[in-house]
Amino acid sequence: MKYYIIAGEASGDLHGANLMKELFKQDPQADIRFWGGDLMQQTGGTLVKHYRDLAFMGFAEVVQNLKTILNNIKFCKQDIAAFQPDVLIFIDYPGFNMRIAEWAKKENYKTHYYISPQIWAWKESRIKAIKRDVDHMYIILPFEKEFYEKKHGFAVEFVGHPLIDAIHNRKQTSEDEFRNEHNLDHRPVIALLPGSRKQEISKMLSGMLSVVNDFPHYQFVIAGAPSQEYSFYQQFLGSSNVKFISNRTYDLLSIAHAALVTSGTATLETALFKVPEVVCYKGNWISYQIAKRIITLKYISLVNLILDKEIVKELIQSDFNTKNIRAELQKILTPSHRENLLKQYDLLEEKLGGDGASRKTAELIIKHLT
């Protein structure tokens, strides 16, 4: 069968790659064309556009790049029409994917959505479009089932969280080998995960790095995003106590003692690696002011949202400052605090439903097509 997959971010690339592996395994004749990234490209199929050319964060940035976005939507429709897939598979990235889904449904394509748009956070009105334009929805967060089925009467299928598979199935490198490869010394590592887009990396790293000199007994390591070149990060590497490692975030988290993490999927990844973390976010001022008025969630990190209580500290906008970063990092380095946090992480993993998300989703997609 012919599959057309659209993922527009780094996390979508990861989950898309694992889904593709399962589709190829269960359908050896699969012909897959996709929008994604390096991981999906390494899996097989045909890359149409890389997510680095698609990712615009925040309201202001979207407005500034509206022409590019509209051109991408037009090109995507043309490419789908030329390929004539048996099914379209959308992976999160709702601003783009929902536009394509509306068109695709009218053109009688089968539409499957893997990893729901976070409409429980904002734009709940999108449920109307989802019910109209999406044939099958596969959700990965346990609270989403009640949201969709009980609140909105839309049947969904909970498949578990694909990050559990991604972490358990990765190729592991020993700590000694990893440290030697990247010239890390014997000190405990504090990982810095500043995001994947240039705008957020610049904002986040300036704050994260402001506390480096306060923790001389620890080694700070920046997790470089695969979508950015090393040259972009050089401006942040002035201190001898700061190292940079590109495209090895999981290996870095596997040896990290603590982490400062930009809000997003990385907060959940860090927790699943059992690394105490402080969640950070500082966005464009205009974008933040708009978001603050339309998003009513109690928390911004998936860890806290899933457990429905503040497990990890969130430093948002003006709270993301040197004084608070220093205090919260010191707290998660304290043994008693760490022990309690790790117990909560175990509970988090239980609630996520175990492994097999990619396999279950591939099985369901194929089942619905045959």
Q: pLDDT value at position 226? A: 80
Paired with 256 in beta bridges are 189
Three-state DSSP at 191 gives: strand
The structure's pTM equals: 0.81
Residue ranges per structural domain of the chain = 2-161+353-369, 169-351
The whole-number pLDDT of residue 55 equals 58
DSSP codes of every residue in 132-187: HH-SEEEE-SHHHHIIIIIIH----EE---HHHHHHHTSPP--HHHHHHHTT--SS
DSSP-derived secondary structure for 251-316: HHHHHEEEEEEESSHHHHHHHHTT--EEEEE---HHHHHHHHHH---S-SSHHHHHHTS--SEEEE
Instruction: Provide the CATH topology of domain 2-161+353-369.
Output: Rossmann fold (3.40.50)
Give yes or no on whether 2-161+353-369 and 169-351 have one common fold. Answer: yes
Q: Are 189 and 218 in contact (CB under 8 A)?
A: yes
| CB contact at 8 A, 259 and 279 | no
What's residue 168's pLDDT? 85
d(CA 32, CA 287): 36
10-residue stretch averages of pLDDT, the chain, 370 residues long: 94 92 97 96 96 65 68 95 98 93 98 94 91 98 94 96 88 92 95 90 93 96 90 89 94 97 92 97 66 67 93 94 98 95 94 91 96
CATH of domain 169-351: 3.40.50.2000
The predicted structure's pLDDT at residue 258: 98
Give residue 330's identity as a one-letter amino acid code.
Answer: Q
d(CA 355, CA 39): 20
